Each structure stands twice: as structure tokens, then as C-alpha cells.
Amino acid sequence: MWQEYLFPASVQEALEMLVSYKGEARIVAGGTDLILELKEGKRRVKALVDITRIPGLDEIELKEGMIVLGAGVTHRQAWESPLVRERAAVLAEACHAIGSPQIRNVGTIVGNVVNAQPAADAAIALTALEAELEVADLDGRRWIPIGELYEGPGRSKVDPTRQMVTAVRFPALRPGQGSAFERLAKRRALALPILNTAVVVGLEGDDRAFVEARIALGPVAPTPFRARQAEKALHSAPIGEESIAKAAEIASREAKPRTSLLRASEEYRREMIKVLVRRALRRALEEAQGR
Amino acid sequence: MPTLTMNVNGKDVTLEIEPDELLVEVLRDRLGLTGTKVGCEEGECGACTVLLDGKAVVSCLLPAMKAQGRKVETVEGLAAEGKLHPLQQAFIDCGAVQCGYCTPGMLMSAKALLDENPSPSEEEIREAISGNLCRCTGYRKIVEAIKAASSSATGG
């Protein structure tokens, strides 16, 4: 499957390793998706560059109001992090929904994004959190908004034969904000979502109206989908069940779910978008009111 | 061939392996530890579950080189000094073993749980084995066995 398995000691060394293999080496972190693809012959590589032993990449920090997670942070770590639970509950919940305990122990959040599946739970949460990812190559590093990282299903703009993502960051939720993640799948472990949604809401100072809402949905489009019209409908809307139900209706209309043998019919999924978005908005609102 | 040094069930081992061997292959084919089973080979069934530095992992998706310098525990390491581990004894006592193929993986997931949380709730037990498939017993007896081996049952 591969001829070399390399452990760089720094990001710079990892990037130099990639370049020296001229497109035939690839970054690996947890490997829970990549090793499977290599086993199945869907991808070919000469060398794997394992970034999980680069010092500092497994850290979760709060820096100037931003939560920063290194590229080696696993789903398990995010779920267990008090910082993520308190100030980005949507991400903790999404990470906890992924795969199984065994997968969450090794799979990474950044890998979940770079793999670019439209239903990736952590990526849906990060879409609602308006996260940015730091992409490094030998020319330097820059932060890219998550929405600009996708090319299509299974394709991100990060080229893992020449670049690596070193971290992901997003603003930690503040008082008056709340978030929640909801998911529908055939069972609670090791099942891809039929639908998932991540929402973040913010309230006015006196808690009488929404000032903002972000609603991400998957897999209802080739890439993680933002229900922008539903978000707009919640802007300045009075808090309560009526606004929530209306936003959920709009989200269901603007999303583009397809009938899939794996994931049920379009009609069913449109109905369920309403249910999941309502549930998520209610919980996010509760959190925002309590914060 | 690269050299892999790891600690398996308390013993340091050093061996030459192919760079693309998976941990399950090294354990079974090079070390003869065939208690770890190969099921689906795609990380879905949990039969190949072992502990890496105390955490449950599926060894069929883990490049063996990831175990470099790490501690690996397999089902063969559970019994000590000729005495079964409390989890093994509980699996027998509760009738939690039928065909037995999932048992090593179940035991290792259960061990990871109890090492961190000696008296888990039923929900926590079910979550801990949610990545392990059993097609015989239907889980109830497995959950009962893990409960019986936990300190909430033994008073420890």
C-alpha cells in the first residue's frame, strides 16, 4: 500500500517530505478514512507523512476569543474538552456522533474537513461556527474560511500531497449565543447520517429577539450547506416557537436533498430537515438564554 | 524494512516489519497473537479492537508504525498469573460468549471503559461497545457481564 511511513518532527519537515516525493506522498493523521481508501485501492501513494507526532498539533486553546484546535486533535479530545463543550457545544456534540469510540480515539477534526464529505459531522458543526483552517505549504501559511475549502464531494482545495492544514479556529461562543447539533441515522454508531444539522444562534441583549442564526445542513448538497434564507428569516425575529418553525420550513425548502438508496427519499428528508432544524434551534435558544 | 519497537501486553518487542503493515497483521502474523480477530477489515465491526496507550482502536485501520514506542494491549494480556481478568470471568458467568468471534474486541472495549470509569452506567457501557458488533447474543448478556465486572457490582 505504501513504501515509507514517515514521522516528521515539525510542520516544515512534513512539507519538505511531501515536496521530496513530488506528489507521491500524502499527509495522514488518524487515517481512519485514508487507510480504508488505500486498502480499497482508491488512492495510491509511495509514502505517508504522519503528522500526529508533531509537537503542539494536539492542543486545544483559547486565543483572543478564538478556539484553536491543532490538526492532530481527535474527535474524542474535542468531545472531552471543557472549553469546546462550554463555548462550542455544537462541535462537541458533532464529534461525539462520529463513527464509534475506536474511530473517535484516532480520527481527527481537521481530517474530517479535509476529506470533504458533505455529511461530515464535525465539518457541518465547523460550518455553522464559521471556522477557518490554516493551510501551510512551503510558500507560507494562510487562514481560509471553511466554505471556500470545498471543491465538491470528497474533494477539498487542500492538496495533501503538497500542503497540510495545521489548525482550525473559530470564535468561541459568548453570552447570549447558543449552539446545538442534531443528527438522523439508522443507528447511533457507525452509521452515516441521513441528515445532520448544526446551528448557532445569538440573541439581543434583552433576550427578546434573535440577532443572528447560522444553520448548516448535510448531506443536502455536494458540500456542507448553509441555509441562508432561513438564517435571514431569523434575523430580528422574536424568539419563540413560531420563528423557529418558520425558519425550519424555509431551510427545508432551500436545501437540495436528493433521493438516495442509502439515505432515503427526497420527500422524507425534506420533512426531516424541518424536524431536525426545529430541534436544534430550540436547544440552541435554550443555551443562549441560559448563558 | 523499518524497525518497530512497542510494548505488547507488558513486554517490549522489537521487530522488522513492512512499512505498510497494519497493527492487526503484526499482532497476528508476526507475534502469533491470534486472539485479536479480523472481521470486516474496514473499521466497522470492532473484532480487531486493541488498546493503544489505553485507548480502544481498531487495529485493522491502524498502520503498525503508529504503535512505535507505544503500549499495546490485546486480549492475551488480560489474564494474569493464570487467573482470568474479572471481565473474562464475568463474560463466562453471564453467558456473554456465544460464537466468540466478537469477544476479544468486546473485552478490550470494555477494559478501556472500566480502566477510565470503574463504575459506568448502562448507557456508558452501551456506548463503549457501540463500535463492536455481535451477531449472536444480542448484547444484553454482554452489557450484563460488563456491569458485573464493574466496581459498582463488586463493591470495589
Domain ranges of chain B: 3-77, 86-154
Which pLDDT score, from 0 to 100, does residue B154 have?
Answer: 66
Counting the structural domains of chain A, the total is 3
| Final residue belonging to a domain, choices A156, A171, A186 | A171
Stretch 51-80 of chain B: residues touching chain A, C-beta under 8 Å: 52, 55-58, 61-63, 65-66, 68
Same domain, A140 and A199: no
What angle (nearest 5°) sits at the alpha carbon of residue A123, between those of residues A120 and A125?
A: 110
Quote the minimal CA–CA distance from B28 to chain A in Å. 18
CB contact under 8 A, A5 and B55: no
Q: What is the mean pLDDT of residues B39-44?
A: 96
In chain B, residues with a C-beta closer than 8 Å to the C-beta of A80 are none
Cell of B25: 497483521
Inform me whether the pLDDT recorded for B156 exceeds 60: no
Are the C-beta atoms of residues A195 and A269 closer than 8 Å to each other? yes
Which pLDDT score, from 0 to 100, does residue A263 have?
Answer: 80
Average pLDDT over all residues of chain B: 96
Distance separating alpha carbons of residues A105 and B109, to the nearest angstrom: 12
Parallel/antiparallel/unpaired status of strands A25-28 and B3-8? unpaired
pLDDT grade for B121, boundaries at 50, 70 and 90:
very high
Identify whether A16 is part of a domain: yes
Identify whether A55 is part of a domain: no
Same domain, A65 and A24: no
In chain A, residues with a C-beta closer than 8 Å to the C-beta of B41 are 39
Q: Which residue has the cell 456465544?
A: B98
CB contact under 8 A, A103 and B20: no
Distance separating alpha carbons of residues B96 and A143, to the nearest angstrom: 51
Cis peptide before A219 (omega within 30 of 0): yes
**Interchain CB contact of B130 with A (< 8 Å):** yes
* CATH superfamily of the B3-77 domain: Beta-grasp domain (3.10.20.30)
Q: Chain A residue with minimal CA distance to B46? A: A102
CB contact under 8 A, B66 and A31: yes
Identify whether A149 is part of a domain: yes
Q: Tell me the residue range of the domain where A40 lies.
A: 4-50
Parallel/antiparallel/unpaired status of strands A132-137 and A177-184? unpaired
Beta bridge partners of B72: B8, B52
Q: Using CB atoms, pick whichever of B52, B55, B130 lies closest to residue A100.
A: B130
Same domain, A275 and A191: yes
Single pTM value for the model: 0.96
Distance separating alpha carbons of residues A215 and A127, to the nearest angstrom: 8
Q: Using CB atoms, pick whichever of B44, B63, B112 lies closest to residue A31.
A: B63
Interface of A with B (CB under 8 A): 1-5, 7, 28, 31-32, 35-36, 39, 48, 50, 52, 76, 99-103, 105-106, 188-190
CB contact under 8 A, B131 and A1: no
Q: Which residue has the cell 474524542?
A: A76
Identify whether A119 is part of a domain: yes
Residue B52: C-alpha distances to residues A27, A155, A275 (Å): 21, 31, 40
What tens-digit pLDDT sequence spans chain A (291 residues)?
Answer: 999 999 999 999 999 999 999 999 999 999 999 999 999 999 999 999 999 999 999 999 999 999 999 999 999 999 999 999 999 999 999 999 999 999 999 999 999 999 998 889 999 999 999 999 999 999 999 999 999 999 988 899 999 999 999 999 999 999 999 999 999 999 888 888 999 999 999 998 887 899 999 999 999 988 999 999 999 999 999 999 999 999 999 999 999 999 988 789 999 999 999 999 999 999 999 999 987
Quote the minimal CA–CA distance from B141 to chain A in Å. 19
In chain A, residues with a C-beta closer than 8 Å to the C-beta of B58 are 100, 102-103
Strands (E), chain B: 3-8, 11-16, 49-52, 55-58, 71-73
Quote the minimal CA–CA distance from A265 to chain B in Å. 25
Are the C-beta atoms of residues B141 and B94 closer than 8 Å to each other? yes
Q: What is the mean pLDDT of residues B34-54?
A: 97
Same domain, A167 and A181: no
CB contact under 8 A, A32 and B65: no
C-beta neighbour count of B76 within 10 angstroms? 16
In chain B, residues with a C-beta closer than 8 Å to the C-beta of A1 are 20
Same domain, A195 and A159: no
Quote the minimal CA–CA distance from A241 to chain B in Å. 31
Distance separating alpha carbons of residues A114 and A100, to the nearest angstrom: 20
CATH number at residue A44: 3.30.43.10
Q: Using CB atoms, pick whichever of B42, B65, B130 lies closest to residue A36.
A: B42
Parallel/antiparallel/unpaired status of strands B11-16 and B3-8? antiparallel
In chain B, residues with a C-beta closer than 8 Å to the C-beta of A103 are 43, 58, 131
Are the C-beta atoms of residues B62 and A5 closer than 8 Å to each other? no
Same domain, A28 and A78: no
What angle (nearest 5°) sits at the alpha carbon of residue A204, between those of residues A200 and A210?
A: 45
Domains B3-77 and B86-154 share a fold: no
SS3 B7: strand
CATH number at residue A277: 3.30.390.50
| Final residue belonging to a domain, choices A147, A171, A195 | A171
Distance separating alpha carbons of residues A227 and A213, to the nearest angstrom: 10
CB contact under 8 A, A102 and B44: no
Are the C-beta atoms of residues A227 and A217 closer than 8 Å to each other? yes
Which pLDDT score, from 0 to 100, does residue A190 have?
Answer: 87
* CATH superfamily of the B86-154 domain: [2Fe-2S]-binding domain (1.10.150.120)
Interface predicted TM-score (ipTM)? 0.96
Same domain, A148 and A86: yes
Which pLDDT score, from 0 to 100, does residue B41 have?
Answer: 96
Distance separating alpha carbons of residues A276 and A117, to the nearest angstrom: 20
Identify whether A286 is part of a domain: yes
A vs B: CB pairs below 8 A: 75
Q: Which residue has the cell 512505535?
A: B68
Distance separating alpha carbons of residues B87 and B75, to the nearest angstrom: 11
CB contact under 8 A, B61 and A35: yes
**Interchain CB contact of B119 with A (< 8 Å):** no
Q: Which of A100, A104, A186 to mutate to test the interface with B (most CBs of B within 10 A)?
A: A100
Distance separating alpha carbons of residues A124 and A130, to the nearest angstrom: 10
Find the range with the poorest average confidence among A87-96, A131-140, B114-123, B130-139. B130-139
Q: Which of A218, A102, A275, A273 is nearest to B108 (CA)?
A: A102
H or E element that contains B119: none
Q: Using CB atoms, pick whichever of B20, B43, B55 lies closest to residue A36.
A: B43
